[in-house]
Amino acid sequence: MENIQTLMKKDRLDAIVLGMESLSHLTKTSNEAASAVIMGEEWQEVKDTLFSLIMDHDYETSDSDDVPKEEHLQLTLALTIVANALGLYCRRKEEVHAPSELTLDVEELKEIIVSLSGHMKKAESESAVNNSNVHVHTQNMYQASRCVMFLIELSEELKSFVAESTNLGLLAFSLRCEHGGICKHNLLGNVCRRIASSLGTFKC
């Protein structure tokens, strides 16, 4: 984690992307890396960088053809890393009996969900456009959906927030995706099916 944090603090985009790619692999299996991403603590700068990329992304700037490919990758990698970390948290929830070990900052994660909704809507609107960024938008849609899926499976409060915040449109998005109305992406369809199922059975 120390080497990853050092790379992510560099000024060069290629170094930052290298650190994020390493972290995306590490968060598939490492509980320490997952905690660093979600909780921060001694790796707070890593968490802040990832959350800022998700919450403060400027599409007007990043969609320009003049933007380096590394900059396009940053959002996709940030979404992937957070989704991987949340996935490990879900597995730990099934294994750990002490809820304190899985304490989440629910209010902060609500803000993340609002941003995720924005990324999903943007990706959906761009997915049918034949341009060089279509693959990037599809990946962002998939990874943002993974984040939402794991968040509502981790917390009843977050599930309630998503279900009751109809302006986010996440249930409608998931239903469109589940029935193939957005793009033909089997993994995305499976994720949206889980989201729709979870929200569809929620009782206010």
What is the band of 61 on the pLDDT scale with cuts at 50, 70, 90? Answer: low
Taking 50 as the threshold, does the pLDDT of residue 101 lie above it?
no
Q: How many residues does this entry show for the chain?
A: 204
For residue range 158-178, list pLDDT tens digits in order.
999 999 998 888 988 888 887
Question: What is the pLDDT, as a whole number, of residue 85?
Answer: 96
Q: Please enumerate, as own/partner, the contacts of 121-129 that have beta carbons within 8 Å and a separation of 24 or more.
A: 121/169, 121/173, 122/59, 124/173, 124/176, 124/182, 127/182, 127/183, 128/183
Q: What's the rounded mean pLDDT across residues 38-54? A: 92
Q: 7 Cβ partners below 8 Å, 6+ apart?
A: 15, 16, 18, 19, 22
Q: What is the mean pLDDT of residues 171-195?
A: 80
Provide the whole-model pTM: 0.88
165 and 153 Cβ atoms separated by less than 8 Å: no
For the chain, give the mean pLDDT. 85
Reported as a pLDDT band with limits 50, 70 and 90, residue 102 is low
Token couple for 34: 């997952």
Residue 201 above 70 pLDDT?
A: no
24-38, 107-121, 122-136, 156-170: range with lowest mean pLDDT: 122-136
For range 97-116, the mean pLDDT: 80
Residue 53: predicted pLDDT: 94
- The CA distance from 66 to 199, in Å, is 40
Which range of 11-25, 92-106, 190-204 scores highest in mean pLDDT? It is 11-25
Cβ atoms of residues 199 and 151 within 8 Å: no
Tokens of 114: 């609002």
What's residue 34's pLDDT? 93
Q: List Cα–Cα distances, 51 to 68, 81, 137, 177, in angstroms.
A: 21, 10, 18, 25
14 class by beta-carbon count within 10 Å (0-12 exposed, 13-18 middle, 19+ buried): exposed
In the predicted model, is pLDDT for residue 133 greater than 60? yes
